[in-house]
Amino acid sequence: MDKPIKKKKITFARFAVRTLAISASTLALFDFLKGEFQAGGLLALGWLTIVIGEKRMFKEGKTNEEN
């Protein structure tokens, strides 16, 4: 049976974290295109850290019954 789709509320915290992730990925891409590989690599690493942190921060608690 299909479960109802729950809409996720966009909070200011989630919006801010996503904005940081988008900014870091965009700046990393521009730095790589300009040939500044050290700055691009650090920004890419920062972007990856933000994405992993976002997943952990906003993970909804799943119980064994929901799996």
| Residue 44 covered by a domain | yes
Q: Kindly state whether residue 19 falls inside one of the protein's structural domains.
A: no
Domain annotation covers residue 41? yes
The total number of structural domains that make up the chain: 1
User: From the CA atom positions of the chain, what is the Rg in Å?
Assistant: 16
30-57 burial, b if ≥16 CB within 10 A, otherwise e?
ebeeeeeeeebeebbebbeebbeebeee
pTM over 0.75: no
Asked, for residue 45, whether it belongs to a domain, the answer is yes
Domain that includes residue 41, residue range: 28-53
Is there a domain that residue 37 lies in?
Answer: yes
Q: What are the pLDDT digits (tens) for 27-43?
A: 999 999 999 999 999 99
Q: With pLDDT > 70 as the criterion, what percentage of the chain qualifies?
A: 78
Answer yes or no: is 38 within a domain.
Answer: yes
For residue 46, give every residue at least 6 positions away whose Cβ sits within 8 Å of its Cβ, in sequence order, or none.
24, 28
Determine the Cα–Cα distance for residues 24 and 30; give it in Å rounded to an integer.
10
